[in-house]
């Protein structure tokens, strides 16, 4: 594992930093002290997206003919690391991370021409239709049916935990097109217009009070056969395509360290709000989290070193995801331990609140981190079986 930049990587890192210093709007910087309206931030995000798109960095690993930059693995890593250090907002979304690369590999030329430009320009919002009430971590058990009827599929069923479905224009989804086939077969990937008749979206309110997730119902929804990605009944293998080289999780690794830095600044700025009775134990707990944040970064470096050597970091990527998801929860718990009862006050205007009223909200929001993107149980199974060679239970 190589911790140092080559001279070329060092020069590239400086180029990325210079771009961030020049192009990242003040309203989007973490140290911005002014007041920005929703409109002002929206305009700043639009300007930021245009700057990143002009460089071809929204989808850096894509071919240039599709609006990418054809970057190598290490160059992507350096860029993502610097973006995370600057806390620059992400502008890709599901379109760039998930369905875009899948279309480039498995989609017809017609689908590429229809959807790739809108993904790169940020004109189309996507959501993912995988999980169902009876098929969460075991996605292959899905029961949503797509029955062929001429040039259409007729879709019936339900999806759940669909992030951003209430705002999405399109959904890329897996549906069962052959109910008699083994569960990993007989599945097709379809692109669904969310405005199609028969689509109903119901937001789900989390215990944090947010409506990030949704359940989506399909009642005789017609989807053109031309909207299928890849071969019929081969959707499981299309959906499992992993083309996004950013598997190292460096953004999350930097992010957890940033959380700790914010906690440290708050404790220095408002020491009177710290839990006085437990200050000694808090120092030890903070030190543990700081060491773990450094460990998370080294795990990311291990993954990217493997990728740079054309190795597939299967168990290593799962280990990194598992470690960082659980570390995020421990840091959220630390914030509550530091703030005590003040941490339960979610009103940022209340003078007795801690850290702008974000600690309680952050704690309950962190619960989903060990579920989303593959549960901790699934990650442990992958590490045990594929990393350690242990037998299935």
CA distance 1 to 12: 20
**Which of 9, 7, 8 shows the shortest CA–CA distance to 79?**
9
Question: Which residues lie below 8 Å from residue 386, measured CB to CB, with a gap of 6+?
Answer: 314, 315, 318
Residues 149 and 118 sit within 8 Å (Cβ to Cβ): no
The per-residue pLDDT for 246 is 46
The per-residue pLDDT for 244 is 43
Write the pLDDT tens digit of every residue in 47-61: 998 899 888 888 888
Write the pLDDT tens digit of every residue in 192-204: 999 999 999 999 9
Task: List the alpha helices (DSSP H) in 169-278.
Answer: 235-239, 250-269
User: How many other CB atoms are found less than 10 A from the CB of residue 18?
Assistant: 10
The per-residue pLDDT for 340 is 87
Show the tokens assigned to 176.
């069962």
DSSP secondary structure of 125-140 = -EEEE--BTTBSS-GG
User: If residue 203 lies in a helix (H) or strand (E), which one and from where to where?
Assistant: strand 199-204
94 vs 127, 165, 169, 244, 349, CA distance in Å?
7, 11, 12, 11, 34
The per-residue pLDDT for 354 is 87
**Which of 144, 92, 139, 143 shows the shortest CA–CA distance to 119?**
92
The per-residue pLDDT for 155 is 98
Calculate the CA 66 to chain-centre distance: 22
**Which domains occur in the chain, in start order?**
7-91 (1.10.540.10), 126-239 (2.40.110.10), 250-387 (1.20.140.10)
Residues 296 and 253 sit within 8 Å (Cβ to Cβ): yes
The per-residue pLDDT for 183 is 85
CA distance 318 to 383: 7
Average pLDDT, consecutive stretches of 10 residues, N- to C-terminus, the chain (393 residues): 84 96 90 68 87 87 86 90 92 84 91 91 88 84 96 97 93 95 92 98 87 94 97 88 56 91 90 73 91 94 87 88 94 91 87 87 88 85 91 78
Query: For the chain, how long is the longest CA-to-CA vector?
Result: 71
């Amino acid at each position: 594992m190589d911790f140092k930049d080559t001279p070329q990587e060092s020069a590239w890192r400086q180029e990325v930093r210079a771009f961030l210093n020049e192009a990242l709007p003040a309203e989007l910087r973490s140290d911005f002290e002014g007041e920005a309206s929703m409109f002002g931030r929206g305009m700043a995000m639009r300007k930021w997206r245009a700057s990143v798109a002009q460089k071809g960095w929204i989808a850096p690993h894509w071919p240039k003919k599709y609006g990418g930059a054809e970057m190598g693995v290490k160059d992507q890593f350096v860029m993502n690391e610097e973006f995370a250090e600057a806390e620059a907002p992400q502008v890709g979304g599901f379109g760039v991370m998930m369905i875009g690369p899948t279309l480039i590999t498995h989609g017809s030329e017609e689908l590429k021409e229809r959807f790739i430009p809108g993904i790169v320009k940020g004109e189309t919002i996507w959501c993912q239709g995988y999980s169902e009430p009876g098929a969460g971590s075991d996605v292959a058990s899905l029961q949503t049916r797509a029955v062929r009827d001429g040039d259409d599929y007729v879709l019936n069923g339900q999806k759940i935990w669909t992030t951003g479905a209430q705002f999405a224009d399109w959904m890329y989804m897996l549906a069962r097109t052959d109910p008699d086939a083994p569960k990993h077969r007989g599945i097709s990937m379809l692109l669904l217009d969310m405005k199609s008749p028969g689509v109903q979206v119901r937001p789900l309110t989390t215990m944090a009070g947010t409506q990030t997730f949704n359940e989506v119902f399909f009642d005789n929804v017609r989807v053109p056969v031309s909207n299928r990605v890849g071969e019929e009944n081969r959707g499981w293998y299309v959906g499992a395509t992993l083309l996004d080289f950013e598997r190292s999780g460096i953004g999350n690794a930097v992010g957890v360290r940033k959380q700790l830095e914010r906690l440290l600044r708050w404790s220095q700025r408002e020491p009177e709000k710290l839990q006085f009775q437990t200050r000694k134990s808090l120092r030890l707990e903070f030190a543990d989290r700081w060491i773990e944040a450094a460990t998370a970064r080294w795990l990311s470096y291990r993954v990217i070193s493997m990728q740079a050597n054309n190795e597939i970091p299967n168990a290593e990527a799962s280990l990194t995801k598992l470690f960082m998801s659980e570390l995020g929860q421990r840091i959220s718990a630390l914030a509550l331990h530091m703030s005590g009862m003040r941490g339960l006050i979610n009103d940022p205007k209340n003078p007795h609140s801690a850290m702008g009223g974000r600690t309680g909200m952050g704690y309950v929001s962190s619960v989903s981190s060990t579920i989303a993107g593959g549960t901790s149980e699934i990650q442990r199974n992958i590490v045990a079986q594929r990393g350690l060679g242990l037998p299935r239970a």
